Structure 1
Amino acid sequence: MNRLSPPRVNNAPIRLIGAALFSLMLAGCGGHQDASSPPPPPVAMTDEAVGHYCGMNLYEHIGPKGQILLRDRDIPVWFSTIREVFAYTILPEEPKTIVAIYVQDMGRADADGNPPADAWIDAKTAHYLIESGAVGGMGAPDALPFARLEDARAYAERHGGRIVGFRDMPEDYVLRAPELTFGTDREPAGALS
């Protein structure tokens, strides 16, 4: 050892801790929303909107649609059924960087069961009618979202089913293989009768 050089100190652990803290600070600045900021608004559905799981244009499907906005993605993840929206939030292989979830309000649907283009509501505050026999976008039973509990109750009185909240949606309802209803006399999701 040279007399003029200072004694060697093993500062690798200190550098490692410093690098880890710096990485955490950078991650915290990466576009995350803080809890007090409002979620981004829903995105208008266009002719280019394609269902995440089915790969089909959303306008080819009847009934309510859904969209999930992710932190690191500029366009929504689109869904042709409400069950698919819930499946996305449950399945472990899907991203968990969700900043907002929107579904279409069936309380504003026309007589054919199609909600207007601006009928997006926060999925976490919606009331869902399940097990009503309503058929969704892929020809299978689907959940019907309503902004107002009164609308969900009125539909349930006419068609049966039960009403659940976002956090109460049964996982087995979402993930079980649906009974396909193509060619049956079941009515489309939300069709008024």
Structure 2
Amino acid sequence: MTCSCFTRRHTRRDVLGTLGLAAFSTLLAACGEKAGEAPSLAPVEIDRATSCELDGMLLADYPGPKAQIHYAGQDKPAFFCDTVELFNTLLAGEQVRAVRAVYVQDMGQADWNEPKGHWIDAKTAVYVLGSKRHGSMGPTIASFAQQADATKFAGEYGGKVLRFADIQRDMVDLSGGALHDTRM
């Protein structure tokens, strides 16, 4: 008796597809998720002691949108006191940690000077780059849930409206912010 899997001629696509699906299922299982289910990680609210992953600054002490990344295998999210820091981290060539979820604040709802809550999925957000409004590190990238809010903000404060995928590494240079922060 011959197993049918040995008598059928497998194409390269069959083999690669099976291997890819097996690797994907293994990766999801390692992250505690079942195949076919999307990760369901809720954003975590900041408090007075929440500090930035990159520089230790307290998020609550600074204006502008904040961000958080939930990495696979890490219980607590990494927080960022500025969206420029977030994008600099995500777009870094050396970024190798698996990202499960990314959140930014909806500045159409949150108070710019003391942003709390209003977390949205960073990948679906609309951004304004190059406005006159500053965040914790100087010029920042404002984040919005709604295109209309981003367009209104750009009309009032200047800047270019962009989607997540439009933001490139050369747009998120961190060299200026820390050099000009007198409160550090």
Tell me if TM exceeds 0.5: yes
Counterpart Cα distance in 1 of 2:160 and 2:84: 15
Q: Residue in 1 aligned with 2:123?
A: 124
Counterpart Cα distance in 2 of 1:135 and 1:83: 11
Task: Give 1:32 deviation, angstroms.
Answer: 5.1
* Mapping for residues 107-186 of structure 1, pairs under 5 Å: 107-110=108-111, 112-115=112-115, 117-138=116-137, 140-175=138-173, 177-178=175-176
Residue 113 of structure 2 aligns with an amino acid whose one-letter code is G
Of Structure 1 and Structure 2, the greater helix share is in: 2
Per-residue Cα deviation, 1:103-128 (whole angstroms, up to 9, x for no partner): 01100133x5333x321000000000
Task: Give 1:35 deviation, angstroms.
Answer: 5.1
- SS of corresponding position for 2:30: coil
Counterpart Cα distance in 2 of 1:91 and 1:150: 30
Q: Residue in 1 aligned with 2:47?
A: 46
Task: Give 1:132 deviation, angstroms.
Answer: 0.9
* Consecutive unaligned residues in structure 2, runs of 5 or more: 1-22
Does the CA contact (< 8 Å) of 2:67 and 2:105 recur in 1?
yes
Q: TM-score, normalised by structure 1?
A: 0.72
Structure ID, larger Rg: 1
Counterpart Cα distance in 2 of 1:75 and 1:149: 30
Of Structure 1 and Structure 2, the greater strand share is in: 2
Q: Percent identity?
A: 32
- SS of corresponding position for 1:89: helix
Q: Relative to structure 2, which stretch is displaced further, 91-100 or 25-34?
A: 25-34
Aligned residues: 158
Per-residue Cα deviation, 1:45-82 (whole angstroms, up to 9, x for no partner): 13332101111211122111000001100000000000
Going from structure 1 to structure 2, the CA distance change for 1:163 and 1:181 (only over 3 Å counts) comes to farther
Counterpart Cα distance in 2 of 1:43 and 1:153: 27
